């Protein structure tokens, strides 16, 4: 059982031959110099002059590993990466990798023709939970932090159960710090926003969705599961107005294409002359030839011409026609 009187980050590091090139670069980016006095103030050195475990965690020699993986539906690896070294550098690299894996789903509302962008892991949820794992991990336990992306969820596993609190406490935003000096360093470098509110902020990110994050703790590990809201998202849009197109549009459509479709929704049957007059109010640089080209090359799935070339016009296709 973990002793709450023991502080891993204040203990003397077994490794004393440490360098801080990565950490120093980050400090310099924030106009901070790693002076001997700052080392003592931050807790990188003990009164004896020896490096602490906090110094080890921030050093280039740190062997702490954060693993990031993405799996397909058959549990085959799509991406498999490991990050180690100074935790400051690790956090930056992991956040960048995780953000790349946080897919953006773009749908065009078939009713309003507006783009609806939805991250798989909404708001600050995935970043908050990555930060939470790195800040609160029990580095005395010889285990890795794992961040795994499945088609329907992301799972974050970190060594160390809940520190000096209950699950109800942390769900309500109670702040307890297993590694307060490490938290202070991240805060000083501007890498933490509103620290101590990670779980409440994550729950808030999911308030408009039917799926919710799950948190589980054992004596030695903490598990977070974040649902992928795009995987579970209902693919139908409820529209009180009956339109030719009511389903969301997932094809890539240009801004010009959207303007054409909006114009045809309000003015069905118009020709390209009238289309250009309407569209040029919002897109003055658009020519009639550009509109013709867009209609022929990119909008044939959604738009059709009816009637003769002289007297006919363009209409949005009905669902059955697509």
Q: pLDDT confidence of 314, banded at 50, 70, 90?
A: very high
Domain ranges, residue 90? 65-161+168-232
Q: What is the pLDDT of residues 91-134, one digit of tens each?
A: 999 999 999 999 988 787 767 777 788 999 999 999 999 999 99
Query: Over 90: is that where the pLDDT of 1 sits?
Result: no
CATH number of the domain bearing residue 261: 1.10.10.10
Q: Are residues 216 and 262 in the same domain?
A: no
Is residue 13 one of the residues assigned to a domain? Answer: no
Stretch 312-321: mean pLDDT: 83
Collapsing DSSP to helix, strand or coil, 221 comes out as strand
Domain harbouring 84, CATH code: 3.30.565.60
Q: d(Cα 156, Cα 161) in Å, to the nearest integer? A: 13
Identify which has the larger pLDDT, 215 or 310.
215
Comparing 73-77, 221-225, 316-320, which segment has the lowest mean pLDDT? 316-320
pLDDT average, residue stretch 75-86: 95
Residue 215 shares a structural domain with residue 261: no
Residue 25 has pLDDT above 90, yes or no: yes
Domain membership flag for residue 242 = no
CB 173 within 8 A of CB 201: no
pLDDT digit string, tens, across residues 163-218: 989 999 888 878 888 999 999 999 999 998 756 678 889 999 999 999 999 999 99
pLDDT at 195: 62
Q: How confident is the model at residue 233 (pLDDT cuts 50, 70, 90)?
A: very low
Task: Examine the domain organization and report whether 193 and 304 are in the same domain.
Answer: no
Report yes or no on 3 lying in a domain.
no
Place 253 in a pLDDT band, splitting at 50, 70 and 90: confident
CB of 53 within 8 A of CB of 11? yes
pLDDT at residue 251, as a whole number? 62
DSSP string, 251-274: S---HHHHHHHHHHHHSTTB-HHH
Domain count, the chain: 2
Burial degree of 86 (CB within 10 A; 0-12, 13-18, 19+): buried
Higher pLDDT, 253 or 16: 16
Judge whether 45 lies within some domain: no
**Residue at 173 is within a domain:** yes
C-alpha separations of 99 from 80, 130, 145, 255 in Å: 15, 11, 17, 26
From 21-25, 244-248, 290-294, the region with the lowest mean pLDDT: 244-248
Both 141 and 103 in a single domain?
yes
What pLDDT score does 176 carry?
86
Q: 113 in a domain, yes or no?
A: yes
Top pLDDT among 145 and 105 is at 145
176 lies in the same domain as 80 = yes
Give yes or no: residues 94 and 198 share one domain. Answer: yes
Q: Are residues 105 and 203 in the same domain?
A: yes
Average pLDDT, whole number, for the chain? 89
Confidence of residue 322 (pLDDT cuts 50, 70, 90): low
pLDDT at 238: 35
| Angle formed at CA 38 by CA 33 and CA 40, multiple of 5 degrees | 150
Residues 195 and 260 in one domain: no
Is pLDDT of 234 > 60?
Answer: no
Treating both helix axes as pointing N-terminal to C-terminal, what angle do 180-188 and 87-101 enclose, rounded to 10 degrees?
A: 70
End-of-domain residue from the set 200, 232, 264: 232
Q: Mutual orientation of helices 272-279 and 255-266 as an angle, nearest 10°?
A: 110
Does residue 274 form part of some domain? yes
Question: Is 208 found in the same domain as 151?
Answer: yes
Closest CA to 128 of 109, 147, 149, 152: 147
**pTM listed for this prediction:** 0.76
pLDDT of residue 237: 36
pLDDT at res. 2: 58
CA 21 to chain centre: 28
Is the residue at 135 inside a domain? Answer: yes
Same domain, 151 and 284: no
Task: Indicate the length of the chain as a whole number.
Answer: 322
Q: Are residues 260 and 132 in the same domain?
A: no
Residues 153 and 290 in one domain: no
Helix (H), strand (E) at residue 149: strand 145-149
The answer to whether the Cα torsion of 129, 179, 187, 30 is positive or negative is: negative
Separation of alpha carbons 256 and 283, rounded Å: 8
């Amino acid at each position: 059982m973990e002793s709450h009187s023991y502080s891993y980050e204040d203990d003397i590091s077994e490794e004393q031959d440490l360098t801080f090139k990565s950490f120093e670069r980050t400090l310099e980016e924030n106009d901070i110099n790693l002076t001997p006095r700052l080392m003592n103030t931050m807790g990188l050195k003990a009164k004896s002059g020896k490096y602490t475990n906090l110094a080890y965690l921030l050093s280039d020699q740190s062997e702490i590993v954060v693993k990031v993986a993405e799996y397909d539906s058959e549990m085959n690896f799509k991406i498999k990466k490991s990050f180690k070294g100074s935790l400051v550098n690790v956090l930056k690299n992991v956040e960048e990798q995780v953000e790349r894996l946080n897919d953006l789903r773009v749908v065009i509302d078939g009713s309003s023709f507006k783009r609806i962008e939805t991250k798989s892991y909404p708001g600050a949820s995935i970043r908050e939970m990555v930060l939470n794992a790195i800040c609160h991990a029990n580095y005395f336990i010889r285990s890795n932090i794992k961040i795994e992306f499945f088609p329907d969820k992301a799972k974050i596993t970190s060594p160390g159960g809940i520190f000096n609190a209950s699950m109800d406490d942390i769900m309500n935003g109670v702040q307890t710090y297993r590694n307060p000096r490490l938290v202070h360093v991240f805060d000083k470098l501007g890498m933490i926003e509103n620290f101590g509110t990670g779980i409440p902020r994550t729950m808030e990110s999911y308030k408009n969705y039917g799926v919710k994050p799950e948190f589980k703790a054992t004596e030695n590990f903490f598990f977070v599961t974040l649902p992928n809201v795009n995987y579970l998202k209902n693919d139908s849009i409820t529209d009180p107005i009956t339109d030719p197109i009511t389903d969301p549009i997932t094809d890539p459509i240009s801004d010009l294409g959207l303007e054409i479709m909006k114009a045809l929704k309000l003015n069905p049957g118009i020709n390209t002359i009238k289309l250009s007059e309407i569209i040029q109010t919002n897109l003055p640089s658009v020519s009639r030839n550009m509109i013709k080209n867009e209609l022929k090359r990119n909008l044939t799935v959604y738009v059709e011409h009816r009637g003769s070339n002289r007297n006919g016009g363009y209409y949005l296709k009905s669902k059955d026609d697509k």
